[in-house]
Chains A and B, each alone.
Chain A
């Protein structure tokens, strides 16, 4: 929205540098930390730090910075910090503890993540992530997070897709909730202690820059509509992912791109926007009334077997289809990993068999996930104890009993690997603006492995951002800046203008109609399979939709009240722009890697083909104003440890 002119950015596309330290990979983070400058304890409370978002990344970061003694201002859009979208994660969190003695190690977690990301992530970041993973589990257990345990009292683990070790920690089907409540407990402790001030139900609508540096934000109080500015010495965005650009996704309905997008328009580069994860195991789409899609945890693939009928004209109910007429396509095509192949591969395979006419259900866009064999082997009780709540959820939505009828599943948008570009310090191209969790782009390359987002959110929030932000504050002289500086009034006026503009269009179409239509274009043309012609038409369709939005949208109500339509309208306006950038990025990247599948770049068997000679880089987009296309900058990716090879799970 608010089309600002970019102040500091360079026009010529130049290489971006991650700033990752050199040396042996296992020493990089430790050596770097040892070299960081520190802020003396007595001086910390003089530094104000704004943390936007209270999910795993933001909640843990705000709490930790508060413990360190900084003056933390925490913001979230939900009515309580405990409700951030991280709460919905079901399956688990990875950590290289090797408690199962199955050959796991920090190096193996690092290796799996770089390979799982299809060699499009930064090695130094991923190694650090794997290192932090072990401390995360220690921290969460000490907070009283009730992880699943063995009878001896030690922690239990399960497997997740894309790996051959058991390194996933879990708390029933509510791992995200329990980890978030852990971070929330640390956060409320700091609120109680007075180091953190909480601003729940406040939406950040712009970044304030003074002399080219991030110095504050503009917010709208979602209860009262009040628009305010806040000044600080650094801003940390932890605002999550943008899957709802597809309208239907597994994300909570309020997940959005707005905070990161407004920073992009202030000059922060946006990296790899086209890398989206389409999760293989979701309840298939129903009618147009639907507001979201429901994920069935990936852990189901531990015991469930995926299949479709071999015959394309099959009419028998699944239980009556004999073994010989069933196509266990994952087990057949990928014998080494079988049903546990990574998400991108499982999703694409489901699309492939459905496109060939083997799909089931009324739409033909679903495959079976069958527990009959597991129930025979383990008994119904064991299966119920592992997946009972998921089975209940499935039954509730589909009105079918998964104990007796195979589930029907289909892929759905779930996670966005792309995000605001950050260096090794998790700092964006705007000095003083840090970005953590799903909102940044840094650790998962072109595909994220299951149970690794929770790990990344907490690694960034508990361990990385507090250290690097401190180093930033200690290394730079901070001028005293208050909200009296003219930049604050200017940014606030811009936000007011945007809000008023939305309220005064008084058009004929609802916000939801535009969002739904954008989602349809994104799913059809920027979804699981993409090609040049489709992407080009997506760009022009989205541009047309954007124009129509700004002339014909109807946003009822007023600014100074609880106004959900107004909230949503601002987010949809940003999705319309982000969707176009995603298509542009997908068009530019003429290779297939991870979740990004270009039909032009596939093998004879239909497997994705990477093009390392031309695309072994991060694509970071720079905003150039409303009337110019963005500029793409490249950050070259070097692989010193895990040599890029064909990613085979066969």
Chain B
């Protein structure tokens, strides 16, 4: 067992509450195995800190398989860390080498206040969705499913956009803290489907307005969002959102 164990040095953002100042704290973890996930390594760190009487590091996660969007850490300066197309919980310790220093920070943005340590409040995303991320159809009033044929390429492309897990890495990575990739993914999904076309204009206008009201920045085409997105949502969706917006307001 012990053969492939190694050590890492950790610099982790500690902040006891939303109004308190924070700082990077330094820890060492020995006995790390390559097959461990980064979050499992943090679990073990917290076991160790608890035993030493130090407050464990606050971080959140749930599915631990890259689909719920709960986790989300900036690892060595990159939202979700070194793996492209993967969420924080999918990062394995084999990505790091013996003796390496790993810097772990929260997803920072003005619209995402820190709750504690590495946990931020992303409720702004839900409020953007409330502004129009839906098709207005009441339960029980839907027509027979196959009466709405959708060409396969459209269905596939809508699915590409729908794959967004709402993790907010795109915002954390963006120099302007823009939520454009997230918002455009939802708008793009609907834009390519016959369902919900009737309210397309209202949707895009309200969702874009909500994005602005929440204090997210504008998109200036840096493309950092696409690079960190665990679901590889294409920046092309932002273009589609702009076109939908122009169609709606012109």
Contacts and interface: CB of A to CB of B under 8 A. Distances in A.
A287 interface: yes
A462 interface: yes
Interface stretch (B37-45, B171-179, B239-247): B37-45
Range, interface on chain B: 35 or more
B86 interface: yes
Interface in A114-159: 135, 137-144, 146-155
Nearest to B61: A253
A513 B47 CA distance: 9
Given A287-B33, A556-B50, A562 B58 contact: yes
A80 B92 contact: no
Nearest to A291: B40
B98 interface: no
B219 interface: no
Contacts of B43: 289, 291, 512
A81 B126 contact: yes
Interface stretch (B6-14, B159-167, B220-228): B159-167
B151 A79 contact: no
A410 interface: no
B139 A252 contact: no
Given A80-B123, A172-B159, A88 B67 contact: yes
A641 interface: no
Given A80-B122, A174-B67, A148 B133 contact: no
B145 A562 contact: no
B94 A399 contact: yes
B201 interface: no
A105 interface: no
Given A144-B195, A146-B158, 15 more contacts: A80-B125, A97-B146, A140-B145, A143-B137, A149-B149, A151-B152, A188-B126, A188-B130, A192-B132, A287-B1, A287-B36, A399-B94, A561-B16, A561-B17, A562-B116
B115 A562 contact: yes
A185 B145 contact: no
A331 B137 CA distance: 46
A413 B137 CA distance: 37
B64 A174 contact: no
Contacts of B215: none
A88 B69 CA distance: 11
B123 A85 contact: no
B115 A554 contact: no
Interface of B: 1, 16-17, 33-37, 39-41, 43-44, 46-47, 50-51, 53, 55-56, 58, 60-70, 83, 86, 90, 92, 94, 115-116, 119, 121-123, 125-126, 129-146, 148-152, 155-156, 158-159, 162-163, 165-166, 189-190, 193, 195-196
B63 A141 contact: no
Given A142-B195, A144-B193, A289 B162 contact: no
A184 to B, nearest CB: 7
A539 to B, nearest CB: 28
A63 interface: yes
A294 B65 contact: yes
A160 B46 CA distance: 40
Contacts of A397: 35, 92
Interface in A158-192: 171-172, 174, 176-178, 181, 184-186, 188-189, 191-192
Nearest to B206: A192
Contact of A142 (B36, B130, B137, B166): B137
Contacts of B126: 80-82, 188, 198, 200
Contact of B146 (A99, A254, A396, A564): A99
A442 interface: no
A476 interface: no
B166 to A, nearest CB: 6
29 contacts: A78-B70, A79-B60, A135-B140, A139-B140, A142-B137, A142-B148, A144-B158, A146-B159, A146-B189, A147-B155, A149-B151, A149-B152, A152-B149, A172-B163, A174-B163, A185-B133, A185-B135, A186-B137, A189-B136, A252-B63, A252-B64, A253-B62, A253-B63, A291-B37, A291-B43, A393-B66, A564-B58, A564-B60, A565-B56
Contact of A88 (B63, B92, B146): B63
Nearest to A186: B134
A83 B62 contact: yes
Contact of B62 (A147, A172, A252, A399): A252
Contacts of B62: 78, 83, 85, 252-254
Residue of B119, B142, B196 ringed by the most chain A CB atoms within 10 A: B142
Nearest to B190: A144
B100 to A, nearest CB: 18
With a 10 A CB-CB cut-off, give which of B133, B139, B162 has the most chain A CB atoms.
B139
B243 to A, nearest CB: 19
Contact of B139 (A78, A137, A223, A462): A462
Nearest to A88: B63
- Secondary structure dominating the interface of B: loop
B45 to A, nearest CB: 11
Nearest to B120: A79
Contacts of B156: 146
A83 B123 CA distance: 12
A191 B47 contact: no
A186 B178 CA distance: 26
**Nearest 8 CB-CB pairs, A to B?**
A153-B149, A142-B142, A185-B134, A146-B159, A138-B142, A141-B145, A189-B134, A562-B116
A192 B131 CA distance: 7
A225 to B, nearest CB: 11
A80 B166 contact: yes
A289 B196 contact: no
A152 B190 CA distance: 20
Given A80-B123, A188-B133, A289-B36, A253 B138 contact: no
B123 A200 contact: yes
Contacts of A379: none
A556 B56 contact: yes
Contacts of A290: 40
A556 B131 CA distance: 40
Contacts of A189: 130, 134, 136
A171 B134 contact: no
Nearest to A171: B159
Nearest to A97: B145
Nearest to A251: B63
A396 B34 CA distance: 12
B52 to A, nearest CB: 10
Contacts of B130: 188-189, 191-192
A185 B190 CA distance: 12
Contacts of A513: 47
Nearest to A461: B139
Contact of B123 (A79, A143, A172, A512): A79
B65, B83, B90, B122 — which one has the most chain A CB atoms within 10 A of its CB?
B65
Nearest to A565: B56
Contacts of B129: 82, 184-185, 188
Given A192-B130, A253-B62, A289-B40, A63 B123 contact: no
Given A138-B142, A143-B195, A562-B116, A83 B68 contact: yes
A510 B50 contact: yes
A144 B152 contact: no
